Amino acid sequence: MDIGSLLFSFRGRANRRAYWGVGLLASVVGLGMLYLMLQGVMAAGITPGMNEEEFMRTMTGINQGWYTIAQLAMLWPTLAISVKRCHDRGRSGWFLLLLIVPLVQLWPLIEISFLRGTSGDNRFGPDPLAGAPQDSWKSWLIFVGFLIVSGAQFSLGREFMTYMMTHMPNLSQTRTPI
């Protein structure tokens, strides 16, 4: 399967290595955009003494839109690879809807993330592991990379929120009561 089909088509099957590889790519994109956004906020000169209007004007000029665009751009490939993982497990892509049901969401998350697909061909296509060399260390390397980058993204996001909360003006003091 070529990279275009892997990232943009909802047909076929994908193994766990491809799934975690796209997850790693999405995390790297998110981390890079979050880093740029934090740098923009810090360079914009937001100070605790700003009033609400100055704060909002400064925030509007920062690369928040690019972060959102990058995340939206990764939405389609993430959905496509997730549907292919469902197909690899012999399930329809609609199986992903269980991710929105509290507690039940653990079932599809574990199934598409960690369990091997059905052996041999199924109704969604041939086995992606058929005839492929079994280099499980590469899969583990991708998975560990995903965990590291996701942890860094979480940490940087926490730093961003801490910076924003300490430098955001006190809105209760800057507004006039109605």
User: 108: pLDDT confidence band, cut at 50, 70 and 90?
Assistant: very high
Query: Per-residue pLDDT tens for 56-104?
Result: 667 666 666 777 788 888 999 999 999 999 999 999 999 999 999 999 9
Residue 21 lies in a domain: yes
Domain membership of residue 98 (yes or no) is yes
pLDDT value of residue 84:
96
Residues in CB range of 58: below 8 A, 6 or more apart: 44, 45, 46, 50
43 belongs to a structural domain: yes
Q: What pLDDT is attached to residue 99?
A: 94
Residue 107 inside a domain? The answer is: yes
Nearest to 125 by CA among 10, 7, 8: 10
DSSP 105: T
Number of domains in the chain: 1
- Tell me, yes or no, whether 65 lies in a domain: yes
In a domain, 6, yes or no: no
| Helices 136-167, 16-43: inter-axial angle, 10-degree rounding | 20
| Longest pairwise C-alpha distance within the chain | 71
CA distance 115 to 118: 9
With respect to residue 70, please indicate whether it lies within any of the assigned structural domains: yes
Alpha carbon distance 56, 33 (integer Å): 20
**What integer pLDDT is reported at residue 72 of this predicted model?**
87
The whole domain housing 23 covers 13-121+136-170
Residue 4 has pLDDT above 70, yes or no: yes
Is 55 part of a structural domain of the chain? Answer: yes
